[in-house]
């Protein structure tokens, strides 16, 4: 019998037209077992001395209805409690899954986090999958991978080989100390210029999963691949691109991180979620996106993109830049300590081009032509005093 149409004993007894004789008139929809249960309940609830059949009938009916109402009310409350519990469970599972998706760490980031702080030597370090370190002493160096990521050409003079299995994700690490710069061509043809004091972690064979992790500053010229987006990951945000040219600045000791787009289009997403959401925005050419690591938010500025990438061509371009910021960039670029002994000088601004092929003293003297100060060299440090 269909459970939905099944007639129970309490349905029989709660009928306003109920009588004990009516039990013999039930249709075939009523099971014999339910009729017997109704008879037993009726006999149990019937008063031993009835004064009248109407009074007896009313008393029985009321008792049955009260019993049925309590049972139904109890069942309803039980159902509501289960529904509430199920709802909370569903919400909890949904939040957990959503947070898990937000907090999922890319494989290249996990690898980068397992690395010990590579010592900032005076030479560039290329660390291969088997732990071998290739030391590069030149101030300006070039590294190029073949299409399989197995052979690495260094400064067109030295070739290093490593074993790369196609199905295995193999990471290499490039560490560029202060005073050095390196241009690297990845196995997919994308080019990266690493500035002084920077680190890049990347797959040796980057064709299938194009994800890299960067600390410091770098210019990316990404080879277009419609079906394989290129992901640049920093401590504060991720940049998703298809093919474009942009600069990333994400030094660990800086309060803000930024990216500047020269051409193409990129999508940038914060690394950490804020109230279960991640800050996300699209950046267009000529725009700088600056990330505030405290508030976990971005703001955008219209800029001259070439001035933020000029360091790869050997010069700095500044416009109304505080001297304290310029000094910090020069310290990294030349790997030299520069001390500003005047608080007032830190706020002075400078506009112009600086040829980085010159010595740091020569570069500072160029700035001193418009911002009056004196430079002296003492104990392997450059000291600046107000004139």
Q: Which band of pLDDT confidence, cut at 50, 70 and 90, is reported for residue 4?
A: very low
> Do 248 and 350 belong to one domain?
no
Q: pLDDT tens-digit profile of 11-38? A: 555 555 555 555 555 554 455 655 565 5
Q: Which two tokens mark 197?
A: 């004091």
249 membership: H or E segment, kind and range: strand 245-250
pLDDT, residue 68, reads 57
- Do 148 and 268 lie in one domain? The reply is yes
Domain boundary among 74, 102, 130: 102
Q: SS3 of 74, please?
A: helix
**Residue 76 and residue 171 in one domain:** no
Tell me, what DSSP letter sits at residue 284?
Answer: -
Question: Any bridge partners for residue 182, and if so which?
Answer: 141, 194
Tens-digit pLDDT profile for residues 107-160: 767 766 666 555 557 899 999 988 899 999 999 999 999 999 999 999 988 999
Q: Residue 228 contacts by C-beta under 8 Å, 6 or more apart in sequence?
A: 188, 207, 208, 209, 210
What pLDDT score was predicted for residue 111?
65
Are 275 and 334 part of one and the same domain? no
CA distance 168 to 191: 23
With bands split at pLDDT 50, 70 and 90, how would you rate the model's confidence at 242? Answer: confident
142, 191: one domain: yes
Listed range (74-83, 118-127, 128-137, 210-219) with the worst mean pLDDT = 74-83
Taking residues 205-215, report their average pLDDT: 87
207 and 272 part of one domain: yes
Residues 269 and 379 in one domain: no
Asked if residues 271 and 237 have their Cβ atoms less than 8 Å apart, the reply is yes
Number of helices (H), then strands (E), in the chain: 8, 23
Given 55, 82, 102, the domain boundary residue is 102
Residues 6 or more apart from 296 whose CB is under 8 A from it?
270, 272, 274, 279
Same-domain status, 27 and 172: no
Whole-angstrom Cα distance, residue 199 to residue 18?
Answer: 87
Residue 326: CATH number of its domain: 3.55.50.30
Q: Is the pLDDT of residue 83 over 80?
A: no
Q: Are residues 204 and 153 in the same domain?
A: yes
Identify the weakest region by mean pLDDT among 309-313, 345-349, 361-365: 345-349
Predicted local distance difference test score (pLDDT) of residue 93: 44
**Is residue 305 over pLDDT 70?**
yes
- Mean pLDDT for 296-302 is 90
Whole-number percent of the chain with pLDDT over 90? 50
**Residues 297 and 158 both lie in one domain:** yes
Cα distance between residue 194 and residue 250, in whole Å? 12
Task: Write down the residue that tokens 């049955």 correspond to.
Answer: 64
For residue 165, the domain's CATH number is 2.60.120.1440
Residues 216, 199: contact at Cβ < 8 Å? yes
Checking 143-150 for CB contacts under 8 A at 24+ apart, the result is 143/174, 143/182, 143/183, 143/184, 143/185, 144/184, 144/185, 145/184, 145/185, 145/186, 145/187, 145/204, 146/187, 147/187, 147/207, 148/187, 148/205, 149/187, 149/203, 149/204, 149/205, 149/206, 150/204
Domain hosting residue 290, numbered range: 107-307
Q: Tell me what the pLDDT averaged over the chain comes to.
A: 80
Same domain, 158 and 217: yes
Are 98 and 112 part of one and the same domain?
no
Report which of residues 243 and 177 the model is more confident about.
177
Domain end position, chosen among 69, 102, 135: 102
Highest mean pLDDT among 47-56, 177-186, 368-377: 177-186
Number of domain units in the chain: 3
């Amino acid at each position: 019998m269909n459970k939905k149409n099944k007639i129970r004993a309490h349905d029989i007894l709660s009928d306003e037209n109920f009588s004990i004789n009516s039990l013999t008139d039930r249709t075939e929809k009523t099971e014999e077992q339910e009729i017997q249960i109704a008879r037993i309940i009726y006999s149990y609830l019937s008063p031993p001395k009835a004064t009248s059949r109407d009074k007896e009938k009313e008393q029985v009916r009321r008792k049955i209805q009260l019993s049925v109402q309590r049972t139904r009310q109890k069942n309803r409350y039980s159902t509501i409690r289960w529904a509430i519990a199920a709802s909370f469970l569903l919400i909890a599972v949904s939040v957990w899954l959503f947070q898990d998706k937000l907090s999922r760490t890319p494989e290249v980031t996990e690898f980068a986090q397992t690395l010990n702080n590579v010592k900032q030597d005076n030479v560039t370090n290329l660390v291969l999958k088997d732990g071998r370190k290739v030391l590069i002493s030149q101030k300006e160096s070039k590294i190029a991978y073949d299409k399989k990521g197995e052979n690495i050409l260094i400064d067109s003079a030295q070739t290093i080989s490593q074993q790369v299995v196609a199905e295995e994700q193999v990471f290499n690490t490039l560490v560029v100390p202060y005073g050095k710069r390196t241009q690297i061509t990845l196995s997919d043809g994308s080019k990266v210029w690493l500035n002084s004091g920077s680190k890049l972690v990347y797959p040796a064979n980057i064709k299938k999963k194009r994800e890299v992790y960067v600390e410091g500053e770098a210019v990316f010229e990404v080879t277009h691949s419609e079906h394989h987006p290129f992901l640049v990951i920093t401590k504060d945000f991720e940049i998703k691109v298809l093919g474009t040219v942009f600069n990333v600045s994400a030094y660990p000791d800086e309060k803000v991180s930024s990216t500047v787009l020269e051409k193409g289009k990129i999508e940038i997403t914060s690394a950490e979620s804020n109230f279960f959401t991640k800050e996300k925005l699209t950046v267009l050419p000529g725009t700088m996106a600056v990330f505030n690591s405290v508030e976990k938010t971005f703001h955008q500025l219209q800029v001259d993109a070439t001035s933020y990438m000029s360091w790869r061509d050997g010069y700095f371009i500044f416009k109304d830049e505080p001297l304290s910021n310029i000094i910090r960039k020069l310290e990294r670029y030349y790997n030299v300590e520069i001390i500003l002994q005047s608080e007032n000088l830190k706020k002075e601004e400078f506009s112009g081009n600086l040829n980085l092929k010159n010595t740091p003293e020569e570069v500072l003297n160029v700035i001193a032509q418009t911002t009056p100060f004196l430079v002296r060299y003492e104990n392997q440090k450059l000291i600046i005093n107000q004139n």
